[in-house]
Amino acid sequence: MTAQTRSDGDSHNHIETAPTATHITTRQRDTPALLHFLTWSVSYHQAEAVRLEREARTTLTARKAAEAA
pLDDT 10s digits, 38-51: 999 999 999 999 99
Q: What is the pTM of this model?
A: 0.55
**Structural domain of 41:** 21-68
Count of the separate structural domains present in the chain = 1
- Report CA-CA distances (Å) from 54 to 26, 50, 58, 60: 42, 6, 6, 10
Residue 14 in domain: no
Question: In the structure, what pLDDT confidence band is assigned to residue 19 with cuts at 50, 70 and 90?
Answer: confident
- Report CA-CA distances (Å) from 32 to 21, 26, 39: 18, 11, 10
Residue 2 in domain: no
Residue 56 in domain: yes
Residue 27 in domain: yes
